């Protein structure tokens, strides 16, 4: 009987721990409202400080363009500091294209919409994720 009670208590405490972990994760919905054409798709990447502009994103999504708008949702994002970048793959070759001098040929944007000359900067793009769901707008 003691074993059965102990097992039940362990099971219940495990379920509470699992529920708490799920509560701490959130969703981030990202909208690009100003895509200039319906050609191709818009690709999005969710990054942390260690991966921003250096490696593969933590999560990636893509969106078709409907009436000049592209929207994606990143799910199960734990609390932390993140940045998002996106680009309009107008020619649908699944990569961002650049001129010979390194200038982007396709429109792009980052979270917080701070577009300066040169590549995006982490400190300009970062934002905090806590427990509430976020809606972010990025302009290309």
Distance CA(33)–CA(4), nearest Å, equals: 57
Residue 60 pLDDT > 90, yes or no?
yes
Q: Is position 120 within any domain?
A: yes
Tens digits of per-residue pLDDT, 64-77?
A: 999 999 999 999 99
The b-or-e profile of 38-54 (16+ CB within 10 A means b, else e) is eebbbbbbbbeeebbee
Q: Which pLDDT belongs to residue 2?
A: 46
Q: Is position 7 within any domain?
A: no
Q: Is position 4 within any domain?
A: no
Residue 5 pLDDT > 90, yes or no?
no
Q: What is the CATH number of the domain that holds 76?
A: 2.60.40
Record the pTM. Answer: 0.82
Q: What is the mean pLDDT of the chain?
A: 88
The alpha-carbon radius of gyration of the chain (Å, integer) is 20
Q: Is position 13 within any domain?
A: no
Tens digits of per-residue pLDDT, 10-50?
A: 445 554 554 444 457 999 999 999 999 999 999 999 999 99
Domain carrying residue 65 = 26-137
Tens digits of per-residue pLDDT, 75-103?
A: 999 999 999 999 999 999 999 999 999 99
Distance CA(64)–CA(99), nearest Å, equals: 25
- Give the chain's domain count: 1
Q: Hey, what are 25's tokens?
A: 């994760």
Q: Is the dihedral of CA 40, 116, 137, 86 positive or negative?
A: positive
Q: Is position 18 within any domain?
A: no
Q: Which residues pair with 135 in a beta bridge?
A: 29
Q: Is position 11 within any domain?
A: no
Q: Cα angle at 47 between 97 and 116, to 5 degrees?
A: 55
Residue 131 pLDDT > 60, yes or no?
yes
Percent of the chain predicted with pLDDT > 70: 84
């Amino acid at each position: 009987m003691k074993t059965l009670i102990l097992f039940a208590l362990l099971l219940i405490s495990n379920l509470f721990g699992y529920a708490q972990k799920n509560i701490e994760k959130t969703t981030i919905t990202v909208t690009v409202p100003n895509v200039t054409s319906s050609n191709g798709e818009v690709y999005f990447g969710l990054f942390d400080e260690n991966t921003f502009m250096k490696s593969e994103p933590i999560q990636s999504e893509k969106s078709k363009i409907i009436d000049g708008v592209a929207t994606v949702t990143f799910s199960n994002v734990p609390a932390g500091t993140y940045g998002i970048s996106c680009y309009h793959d107008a020619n649908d070759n699944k990569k961002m294209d650049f001129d010979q001098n390194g200038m982007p040929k396709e429109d792009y944007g980052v979270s917080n919409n701070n577009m300066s000359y040169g590549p995006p900067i982490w400190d300009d793009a970062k934002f905090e994720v806590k427990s509430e769901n976020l809606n972010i707008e990025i302009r290309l």
